[in-house]
Every structure is written in C-alpha cells, then in structure tokens.
Structure 1
Amino acid sequence: MKNILVLCTGNSARSQLAQGYLQHFAGNRAEVYSAGVDPKGVNPLAIQVMAEDGIDISQHTSNHVNEYATIPFDFVITVCDHAREQCPVFPSTAQRFHRSFTDPGQEPGVDALTSFRRVRDEIKAFSRQFLETHLPN
C-alpha cells in the first residue's frame, strides 16, 4: 500500500477534495492524507460539493503538515503554489508532484458554489489520471 499526502495552504478545500477523490479511486491501494502549511478547518462547501458527487468528507479534519512528519510518503502532491513553496522536506523518498488549482470561492465574479463545483471537477479528473499513471491497478 502506498502513502499519499496532498498539501495546500489551509487544508480547507483543494487538498480535502483531492484526498477524497484519491482515496475513493485508489481504494485499498493507498492511504491518502491531506494537510496544510496553515490549516483553517474544512470548508463546508467542500463537504457539500463532494456529497453531491457521492463522496463523504464530512469527517475529514484540517491538519498541519508537521503532524505527518513520521509517515513514509511515497507521493507528495501540492495543489497550490504557496504550499509548493512552503512544503517541508520529508524523511522519505517521496516523489513530489505539483498541480495548482484555483482557490475555490475566491474567483471574482463567480459565486462560491459554482467555483467549488468547477474546482471539484478539475481535481476529480486530476486524481483519476494521477492514479492511472502512478498507481495502476
């Protein structure tokens, strides 16, 4: 089983969405964690838009990246530029990947729910492709 860590700044939306999809698609092939460099709590809109797609992340917590310092990660994925810049060095041979997604709910002229749904769909596609490439069946 592989260990995957998804990082963003607040561990409130993008990394939570990615954790939900990666775990869903990976099943028992991976254990997926998410964390932030400055955790803010799980955004209720992230929970809502995932529930709309049949994935329950309501029990997720917002964690600081330091909480996972002892886990030997195989993959570390940053989903925002700030997290990539602040990402600590892990005592493992983790492969690092970066894919920056728009911070949902922060798009000028776009209502928050629409923004969350759009980013959710982008993260879903990324998660599926990431696993097909790096953790095939």
Structure 2
Amino acid sequence: MTYKTRVLFICVANAARSQLAEALLRHTDSERFEAFSAGTAPSEIDPRTFEALQHLGVSTEGLRSKSLDEFVGERFDYVITLCDKSALECHALPGAGEALAWNFEDPTTNTKPEAFRHTLHEIHERIKMFVLVKTKP
C-alpha cells in the first residue's frame, strides 16, 4: 500500500470552507492525498456547501461537521487553516507537519448570490496548485 499525504483543513464552524476543501482535495487527487476537515467551533454544514459541490460534480459523501478534538493525537503532513481566526487558534496542533494559512472569505456571511460558487472556485484553484507543487518528483 502506498503512503498517502494526510491533509487536515480547518476553519471555525466546519460549515463551508473546510468542507469544500476536503471534498475538493479528494476529488482532485484521492490516490495521493487523504483529506479531512474540522472546526474549532463546529456547527452544521451549510446546505449551500453541498449545492456548490454538487453543481461541480464533486462527491459530498461522508462530509459532516467535526470538531478538532476528533483528531487529537493523529498525525497530519499538512494542516491548512482557511480563515484568519482559525489560523490564530490552531498554531500549535500536536502531530501537525507543515502548517499553512490560506484565507478565504466566508461564503456563509456573504450576501452575494454566487458567494459559495466563488469560494468553491478559489479553493479549487488553490488546491490544484497545492497538489501540483506537492506531487512534483
């Protein structure tokens, strides 16, 4: 069995951005990456998160809002925060390899009708670049 790079995406509520990132990384390269997401203060997943992913044809199977506490003691190659607030709260996660801070606008508080698709597209572009860079021989 080949080793997969483990990536944990974190935002505060685990309702939109980190869910989008988890699903998009699985969609982009599930052979080489294992994707997870969690929130520092998890709530319910926003239904528009599922709609945006399904619109792009990305599987939403297994997505659920999870607390960071579920992953205590697990090892991750990358821990990627998706908002400034979670970056401040997650600077010292034990078992974390490289910590990356990406900052995306929260679509749940954005009033624009295309907010979720816009955030989905921005995260997807960043993930494609991440995969490209991290899988170079």
TM-score normalized with structure 1 length: 0.91
1:93 and 1:46, CA in 2 relative to 1: closer, same or farther beyond 3 A?
Answer: closer
**In 2, Cα distance between equivalents of 1:100 and 1:70:** 26
Instruction: Please give the secondary structure, in 2, of the residue aligned with 1:31.
Output: strand
Q: Give the length in aligned residue pairs.
A: 134
Q: 8 Å contact 1:23–1:30 — kept in the other structure?
A: yes
Q: Which moved more, 1:91-100 or 1:45-54?
A: 91-100
Partner residue of 1:67? 70
Partner residue of 1:77? 80
Give a deviation string over 1:27-70, Cα, whole Å, max 9, x none. 12121100000001111100011000001215311001111012
Q: 8 Å contact 1:75–1:95 — kept in the other structure?
A: yes
Partner residue of 1:2? 5
Partner residue of 1:26? 29
Percentage identity across aligned positions?
A: 28
Partner residue of 2:109? 106
- For structure 1, list consecutive stretches of 5 or more residues without a partner in the other structure: none
Give a deviation string over 1:75-126, Cα, whole Å, max 9, x none. 0000001100011523325101111000003225x23xx1101111001101
Partner residue of 1:127? 127
**In 2, Cα distance between equivalents of 1:10 and 1:107:** 15
1:93 and 1:49, CA in 2 relative to 1: closer, same or farther beyond 3 A?
Answer: closer
- For structure 2, list consecutive stretches of 5 or more residues without a partner in the other structure: none
Instruction: Please give the secondary structure, in 2, of the residue aligned with 1:56.
Output: coil
RMSD over equivalenced CA pairs, Å: 1.5
Write out the 4+ residue segments of structure 1 that deviate beyond 3 Å after TM superposition.
Answer: none
Partner residue of 1:15? 18
Instruction: Please give the secondary structure, in 1, of the residue aligned with 2:76.
Output: coil
